[in-house]
Structure 1
Amino acid sequence: MNNFVNILQTQHKDILNSLGQHLSISLISLLIAAVIAIPLAIWLRRYKKAAEIVLQITSVFQTIPSLALLGILIPIVGIGTVPAVIALVVYAVMPIFQNTYSGFTSIDASLEEAADAFGLSKWHKLIKIELPLAMPLIVSGLRIAMVLIIGTATLAALIGAGGLGTYILLGIETNNNALLLIGAILSALLALVFSALIRFLGKLSFKKIMIVLAGIIVLFGGWGIYSVVSKPLSTITIAGKMGSEPEILINMYKDLIQEENPKQKVEIKPNFGTTNFLYKALKSGQIDVYPEFTGTVMESLVKVQNYGHNPDKIYKQGKSMLKKQDNLDYLSPMEYQNGYALVVTKEFAKKYNLKTIQDLAAVQDQVKAGFDIDFYNQKDGYQGIKKAYNLDFGNVNTMQPSIRYKAIANGKVNLVDGYTTDPQVQKYHLVVLKDNKSFFPPYQGAPLVTDKAIKEHPGLKKALNKLSGKISVKDMQKMNYQVTFQHKKAKTVAHDYLDKHNLIKE
């Protein structure tokens, strides 16, 4: 509970921003779905067979898993808000269409005949008789769609569209229940509030409902136009993956760029998504820069196997291949490496004088290991370590990445896999064993930049290269700890490091 309250106090502005993103995506999706579904249902109310076909098609759309739909959309429209809105519209069309169609087809035939007898035109009959009578069911469809949209919109964070899903995903990734609860509770409250508002809307007269809807359309249309017009064309957009470390780095990039050119507009997008999404966004020009690691470049981006363990050689090979493959610039790397590590308790290390992975060979029967399932099975994980160091731990448990550190902190295990800059190492007073045979591949971080951004902004390369050879493993571990467990803002931590090391001027 203390953690929950602390996050609300220290990150309330970011939480409100995510809430605003979630609300914006949800309302825009609902409006577009309503504009598509309601007129279509009105037009097809006289054509039963055609209406049934449309209803079947929209029902099939709802059976498509949301992640699969996003995956289909990404190659077509890229990542960010656009594919998220398209996916949400696809899911929302069916309940709105179904309820609107039911509302019109359930109108008493005698009322239709009476309207014809009075000589009302089709248009006047629609406005004066049919729409008001169908409105309760239409509003019900809008309520169902809105609740569905708000719940599904949490997945928008996976493709860089932001929203409350960012906190849910971060909570799962870092095993931080407070973050997870913030995202889940606010999403649920948002759904309840808008369900109640739409229900209240249904009690108004037809004329008032039309006025409210027109106002919402004008408001969001004007906001959208303003966003496009007001955004400077020369803005540099920097994005980062999920977690504290990428957010710290992108805030450093921003400060360094603006130190070089104070007038330069820089937009940062933290928690933007996975490697695949970020790389596609970079190639498509949706972002200009993001921090990437050499090991990830080789394994996931240029897809090279058996690339060795020489950090300098791997960096140069990755840089050359990225330039040739996608005309991207991979700038100079930092000092630290965020690679795999074997981590033990301080007590265990002291008792058996453990400093390197090789030292574990003498105490194999004392090891109680807790490994991530992937690490346990990978050739560059436990299976490779066994051969390289002639190890074979008899007591090995596989578990989810998020609970490994809790297991070692609670004494359930005394050795886990992790990453060299994990803040849990500092929090739980753990010891990272030295990889004395250099088995694990190097993971040096460096800015990955589009060639277009380098050409358009002459000072960009110089600014980002100021981090070349900077930031030690302990520095990064400490900064991650400050953000993850002390709940300091990433931009504050980043700025303090740059100031302390004279990389920027106050």
Structure 2
Amino acid sequence: MHQFMQTLIDRRAALIQALGQHIQISFWALLIAILIAVPAAIWVRRSPKLAQIILQFTGILQTIPSLALLGLLIPFVGIGTIPAVIALVVYALLPIFQNTYIGLTNIDPSVEEAADAMGMSPTRKLLRVELPMTMPVIISGIRTSTVLIIGTATLAALIGAGGLGNFILLGIDRDNSSLILLGAISAAALAVGMSYLITILEKLKFRTAVFIISASVIFGGGFAIYNVASKINNQVIIAGKLGAEPEILINMYRDLIVAKDPKMTVKLKPNFGKTSFLFSALKNNQIDIYPEFTGTVLETLTKSKDTPQGSNAIYQLAKRQLASQDQLRYLKPMAYNNTYGLAVSSQFARKYHLKTISDLRKVTGILKAGMTMEFMDRKDGLKRVKRRYQLKFPVKGMEPELRYKAIQARQVNLIDCYSTDSQLRQYHLTLLKDNLHVFPTYQGAPLMTEKFAQQHPEIVTSLNQLAGRITAKQIQEMNYEVNVLNESPAKVARHYLVRRQLIKG
């Protein structure tokens, strides 16, 4: 409990920001869902067959896994808030449409006849009689959708939309239960609070409820316009992938840029998501800079057919292909090579005399591997390892941090890793030597659009100060300080830059 309270105090500013993002995403999703579902239910209330078709369709939409839906949306609308809102709208439609339709079709016929006898037009009858009588049922559906949206919105963090899911993902990545609880409890509290507010709304008169909803729409729209307008300034957005190392690097980028130009506003988006998300965001000008690795460029982003030997040759090819294919500028890389690797516990390595990946052939019969889905799918990952080393063993797909927990608990005895992972030191693991040189060189460097680089030559100069710097031992130590010693990435990054006299203390 003490650790949780300390985390809450230390992260209160980030929590408030994430809470605001979560509310904004949820608000727009709920509003759009209401504007679609309620009119649709009114339109089909006299057509039971059409209503059943729509009910079946919205029901099918709810069965689509949220991650799959987000993945399907990315090629069409990119990443960030827009695909998150679209996905949430899809899940929110059924409860609102269903409740509105049921409420409208179950009004006492005698009430309908009385309204007709009074000479009310269909529109007047809808607004003065039908909707007021149905409002409690409609709001009940809205309340169900609200709770559903707030819970599902935690996944928005996977595509760079922010929100309370950032804490959950960060907690999983760093094996920090306090961060996971902070995100989960905050999301649950927000859902309960919003449900309570909507329950109060349900008890209000029809006109009062409509007034409050209209005021919320105006306020929410004004807030969104303000946010968009506030971003039209001299602001640089730097994003990073999941994990401590990318967050350390983007903090270094910010400190170097601000040291050169104190008036420059730099916004960081750590734990932004997977490689494809960041690359898409960069090309769509949703972010300005992110650190990428040379091997990833050739193996994933440019689909290079051949990978040359030597770190400089790999970098030069990656730089040329990014420039010609996507008009991107790839700056000079750092020194360390954060390549893929296979690791076993030191005890397991000693028992079976394992030093290289080739040595695994001696123990294939007892191997139980846990590896990330990305490594299992990449052509320079598990597929190439099994082919080049002629290995066969069962593999379970796992989230990055979970595979370290699994090997510690002896649920698996072989995992994939990055050569600079702090967990290799933390869990006393042995990194097996890639004696057949399967894995290409992975040197990190800032990636940006050519247009941005030409507009900001001073930023290019600032970031190039990291070229050829930071050894594998240094970055692993920095990762250890963040993941194990719970130092902030910003503090660790700044300490490195000050010690190397790249910025003033």
**Shorter-chain TM-score tier:** 0.7 to 0.9
> Are positions 1:372 and 2:349 aligned together?
no
**Residue type of the alignment partner of 1:203:** K
Please say if 1:264 is aligned against 2:264: yes
Could you tell me whether the CA contact under 8 Å between 2:371 and 2:403 is conserved in 1? no
Distance 1:132 1:410, change over 3 A: closer
2:33, 2:411 → 1: CA distance? Answer: 51
Query: Which amino acid letter does the alignment assign opposite residue 470 of structure 1?
Result: R
State the SS of the aligned residue for 1:210: helix
Q: For residue 440 of structure 1, what is the aligned residue in structure 2?
A: 439
What residue in structure 2 maps to residue 28 of structure 1? Answer: 28
Determine the C-alpha separation between the residues in 2 that align with 1:136 and 1:185. 29
User: 1-side partners of 2:34 and 2:148: how far apart?
Assistant: 14
Which has the higher mean CA deviation after the structures are superposed, 200-209 or 304-313?
Answer: 304-313
CA distance in 2, matches of 1:132, 1:408: 60
8 Å CA contact 2:299–2:379 kept in 1: the answer is no
Partner amino acid, structure 2, of 1:275 = T
Q: Distance in 1 between matches of 2:290 and 2:234?
A: 17
SS state at 2:238 partner: strand
Give aligned pairs, total: 502
Quick check: 1:108 aligned with 2:108?
A: yes
Structure 2 distance, partners of 1:289, 1:226, is 24
Distance in 2 separating the partners of 1:131 and 1:402: 51
Shift in Å, 1:293: 0.8
Mark the CA change 1:84 to 1:383 in structure 2 (over 3 Å): closer, same or farther.
Answer: closer
Give distance in 1, aligned partners of 2:405 and 2:328.
Answer: 40
* Post-superposition offset of 1:154: 2.0
Unaligned runs of 5+ in 2: none
Report the equivalent of 1:494: 493
1:185-196 map, 5 Å: 185-196=185-196
Q: 1:193 to 1:386 in 2, by over 3 A?
A: closer
Distance in structure 2 (CA, Å) of the matches to 1:370 and 1:455: 50
Residues 51 and 336 (structure 1), Cα distance of their counterparts in 2 relative to 1, 3 Å cut: same
Other-structure match for 1:39 = 39
Is the Cα contact below 8 Å between 2:329 and 2:448 reproduced in 1? Answer: yes
User: Distance between the aligned counterparts of 1:104 and 1:347, measured in 2?
Assistant: 68
Following TM superposition, by how much is the alpha carbon of 1:445 offset from its aligned partner in structure 2, in angstroms? 0.6
Which range moved further: 222-231 or 370-379? Answer: 370-379
Distance 2:86 2:93 in 1: 11
Offset of residue 278 of structure 1: 1.1
1:281 corresponding residue in structure 2? 281
Query: 2-side partners of 1:193 and 1:275: how far apart?
Result: 36
Q: 1:346 Cα shift?
A: 6.1
Residues 370 and 404, structure 1, Cα contact 8 Å, conserved in 2: no
Query: Are the structure 2 counterparts of residues 183 and 309 from structure 1 closer, same or farther at C-alpha, using a change threshold of 3 Å?
Result: farther
Distance 1:446 1:367 in 2: 40
Q: Find the counterpart in structure 1 of residue 224 from structure 2.
A: 224
Secondary structure at the aligned position of 1:95 is classed as helix
Matched with 2:463 is: 464
The answer on 1:452 being equivalent to 2:451 is: yes
The alpha-carbon distance between structure 1 residues 399 and 233, as it changes in their structure 2 partners (threshold 3 A), is closer
Which residue number corresponds to residue 327 of structure 2?
Answer: 327
Percent identity, aligned pairs only?
51
**Contact in 1 for aligned 2:3/2:178 (Cα 8 Å):** yes
Distance 1:474 1:370, change over 3 A: farther
Amino acid at match of 2:503: I
8 Å CA contact 2:272–2:278 kept in 1: the answer is: yes
Query: Kindly tell me: are residues 73 and 264 of structure 1, through their superposed partners in 2, closer, same or farther at Cα, counting changes over 3 Å?
Result: same
Match of 2:16 in 1: 16
Q: Which residue of 2 aligns with 1:70?
A: 70
- The 8 Å contact of residues 367 and 415 in structure 1, kept in 2 or not, is answered as no
Give the Cα–Cα distance (whole angstroms) in 2 for the partners of residues 412 and 275 of structure 1: 28
Q: TM-score, normalised by structure 2?
A: 0.88
- Comparing 34-43 with 312-321, greater Cα deviation is found at 34-43
AA matched with 1:307: T
Question: What whole-Å deviation, never above 9, does each CA across 1:255-284 have from its counterpart, x for those lacking one?
Answer: 111222221222221111111111111111
Q: Which deviates further from its counterpart, 379-388 or 335-344?
A: 379-388
SS of residue in 2 equivalent to 1:329: strand
d(CA) in 2 for partners of 1:413, 1:123: 66
SS in 2 for 1:459: helix
Structure 2 CA distance for partners of 1:442 and 1:2, relative to 1, 3 Å: farther
| Whole-angstrom distance in 1 between the partners of 2:205 and 2:420 | 60
Q: Please list every run of 5 or more consecutive structure 1 residues that lacks an aligned counterpart in the other structure.
A: none
- Letter of the aligned partner of 1:372 in structure 2? G
1:293 corresponds to: 293
Measured at CA, do residues 52 and 17 of structure 1 come closer, stay the same or move farther in structure 2, by a change above 3 Å?
same
Q: CA deviation at 1:59?
A: 3.0
Q: 1:385 to 1:211 in 2, by over 3 A?
A: closer
Contact 1:346 1:429 in 2 (8 A): yes
Please tell me whether the aligned partners of residues 299 and 380 of structure 2 are also in contact (alpha carbons under 8 angstroms): no
Which residue is 1:97 aligned to?
97
Query: Does the 8 A contact of 1:232 with 1:265 survive in 2?
Result: no
Query: What residue number does 2:200 align with?
Result: 200
Instruction: Give the stretch that moved more between structures: 283-292 or 419-428.
Output: 419-428
Equivalents in 1 of 2:352, 2:195: separation in Å? 61
| TM-score, length basis structure 1 | 0.88
Q: Retained in 2: the 8 A contact 1:337–1:442?
A: yes
1:193, 1:48 → 2: CA distance? 36
User: Distance between the aligned counterparts of 1:228 and 1:378, measured in 2?
Assistant: 37
Cα–Cα, structure 1 residues 380 and 43, in superposed 2: closer, same or farther, change >3 Å?
closer
Flag the 1:80–1:249 CA change in 2: closer, same or farther, 3 A: same
Distance 1:372 1:163, change over 3 A: same
Aligned with 2:292: secondary structure?
A: strand
Shift of 1:56: 3.6
Q: Is the Cα–Cα contact under 8 Å of residues 10 and 487 in structure 1 kept in the other structure?
A: no
Equivalence for 1:504: 503
**Alpha-carbon distance in 2 for matches of 1:210, 1:454:** 50
* 8 Å CA contact 1:168, 1:179 repeated in 2: yes
- 1:402 aligned to 2:401? yes
In the alignment, which residue of structure 2 is the partner of 1:428?
427
Task: Tell me how far 1:383 sits from its aligned partner.
Answer: 8.0
Greater Cα offset, 307-316 or 372-381: 372-381
Secondary structure in 2 aligned to 1:372?
strand
SS at match of 2:457: coil
Deviation at residue 435 of structure 1 after TM alignment: 4.9
Question: Which amino acid is the alignment partner of residue 127 of structure 2?
Answer: I
AA matched with 1:419 = Y
Greater Cα shift, 284-293 or 183-192: 183-192
Q: Equivalents in 2 of 1:408, 1:169: separation in Å? A: 20
Deviations 1:382-426 (CA, angstroms, capped at 9, x unpaired): 7866898x8989x99867453443455567888754222112133
Measured after TM superposition, the shift of residue 489 of structure 1 is 2.2
> Is the CA contact 2:294–2:443 (under 8 Å) kept in the aligned structure 1?
yes
Deviation at 1:488, TM superposition (A): 2.4
Change in Cα spacing, 1:226 to 1:404, as seen in structure 2 (3 Å) is: closer
1:60 deviates by: 3.4
Partner Cα distance (2:361, 2:112) in 1 = 87
Q: Distance in 2 between matches of 1:379 and 1:79?
A: 25
Q: Structure 1 counterpart of 2:143, which letter?
A: R
